[in-house]
Structure 1
């Protein structure tokens, strides 16, 4: 492990290679194209190719072919081995010497039986995240307090999203566009779960959340960007609503009081892999 870990540290010691790895960790379990990575990090394709090769050779990421495209994903097992090495070897497994955030005292325990705070994030907080907030509130508002926010929040909600939610019988009165800064101050509610529902928001390097919430990426295509007839645009919003409904239904069905944090994290990651249903 000594040799392997030194190699991993060497690869991640380069700031831009580290940035690529961190982006893929934020997008996990997604497989991301090189073009999307380059655009998110403003890297030249040839430069990114060198970084991806180094990360892949070190076993930190995996490469998958889909048609003519190559997609990349973080290897979370490799990341786990690295943090385990730091704790078990360098810190001699003593939490009094090293107590990084990853080794929370709650790790391995089930979550307390109470009402949980859940935050959904997208870029504009005008469509996908407000759909998710509304769905969770109406599907299980007795067990969860739902919030939503945007990394670059718009000033108003998307009218097509509002029309769809209204047509489904949802109460849109509580909804408004909000920036994530509203949930990162000292007086903000502490989140138990944070889900990104758009790739662009997941690509952004946001500060760590207080309280170490369980997080996952449940990316959905942006229905706001769909062009065509009004019927085609409405269909895009219906498909997004259906996909989010499917994932949130699976989430609220999880037995939270009997799953430890590692098992729960695995479940919410699996939900992120679910295909859309309308």
Structure 2
């Protein structure tokens, strides 16, 4: 195993290969087309092919074909094996270091148990998907969560189709507005316990690193703002996005947060992206 880990570290020591692996880790559990990775990182397809071949050979990414496209997914268990190799002896002499590295105790997340959890949803425009998620979580469990949303490139106004869906579902939209993600990165910003990206493109590569090691997951879905056709067809796209996000929010609020350790909780929020995607508007 040591030889395997050292090989993986050697592969990741190259900044180009590391940038590809980092993007795929952020997009997990999505399978991302090679072309999308190339566009997001501004890498030539031929160069990307070399990077992906090295990552695949090291067991850091998996590949599958869908039609004419090759899709790539980060192998999170490989990343976990690297971390285990680097830190498996740390608690023997430095238990304080292990608490710092994990951001939580073995028994769950006691530092958060006596207060509400802070949750941030991020997409590109913060005009529909992340606004839906913010509104839904606040409506379903506002007593347990302080909820925020933001965009990496926020629109000046919320999408009118999104607002109409929220009105029709009986939500209060009076306090909603599009916000830049920078509002949540300053010294006065709330410390986030959970950060979820809901964009379906590689825009979450633009998201900043978050202090305090929040639990993070990618719940990507198509952008209804880009839907074409009649107003009825566009409205349907927003209804579907709302329904898919509602399923994920309901699955999230059902998690026994106080009883899950950090690894189990991370797996649970990752699984939600795969298992709770069916639309129920």
Query: What TM-score, normalized by structure 2, do the two folds share?
Result: 0.92
Residue number in structure 2 paired with 1:77 = 77
CA contact (8 A) 1:122 1:200 kept: no
CA contact (8 A) 2:123 2:204 kept: no
SS state of the match for residue 201, structure 2?
Answer: helix
CA change 1:105–1:129 in 2 (3 A) is closer
Indicate yes or no: 2:194 matched with 1:193: yes
CA contact (8 A) 2:193 2:214 kept: yes
Residue number in structure 1 paired with 2:59 = 59
Post-superposition, which runs of at least 4 consecutive aligned residues in structure 1 deviate over 6 A?
none
Residues 224-255 of structure 1: CA deviation (Å, up to 9, x unaligned): 00110111000000000000001001110111
Residue 108 (structure 1) shift: 2.4
Residue number in structure 2 paired with 1:244 = 245
Indicate the larger mover: 103-112 or 268-277: 103-112
Residue number in structure 2 paired with 1:110 = 108
SS state of the match for residue 273, structure 1?
Answer: helix
Residue number in structure 2 paired with 1:5 = 5
Distance, in Å, in 2 between the alignment partners of 1:72 and 1:255 is 31
Q: Per residue, is there more helix in 1 or in 2?
A: 2
Residue 84 (structure 1) shift: 1.6
Residue number in structure 2 paired with 1:267 = 268
Residue number in structure 1 paired with 2:180 = 179
* Structure 2 unaligned spans of 5+: none
Distance, in Å, in 1 between the alignment partners of 2:172 and 2:166 is 8
CA contact (8 A) 2:30 2:73 kept: yes
Residue number in structure 2 paired with 1:49 = 49
CA contact (8 A) 2:34 2:70 kept: yes
Indicate yes or no: 2:120 matched with 1:119: yes
Residues 258-277 of structure 1: CA deviation (Å, up to 9, x unaligned): 11111111111000113231
CA change 1:94–1:76 in 2 (3 A) is farther
* Structure 1 unaligned spans of 5+: none
Indicate yes or no: 2:256 matched with 1:276: no
Residue number in structure 1 paired with 2:255 = 254
Distance, in Å, in 2 between the alignment partners of 1:63 and 1:258 is 35
Residues 198-238 of structure 1: CA deviation (Å, up to 9, x unaligned): 03365424332122111100001000001101110000000
Equivalenced residues, count: 276
Query: What TM-score, normalized by structure 1, do the two folds share?
Result: 0.93
CA change 1:105–1:240 in 2 (3 A) is closer
Aligned-residue Cα RMSD (Å) equals 1.9
Residue number in structure 1 paired with 2:226 = 225
SS state of the match for residue 175, structure 2?
Answer: coil
Residue number in structure 1 paired with 2:134 = 133
Residue 107 (structure 1) shift: 4.1
Distance, in Å, in 2 between the alignment partners of 1:46 and 1:100 is 42
CA change 1:201–1:172 in 2 (3 A) is farther
CA contact (8 A) 1:108 1:262 kept: no
CA contact (8 A) 1:121 1:201 kept: no
Residue number in structure 1 paired with 2:94 = 95
Distance, in Å, in 2 between the alignment partners of 1:149 and 1:201 is 16
Indicate the larger mover: 60-69 or 264-273: 60-69
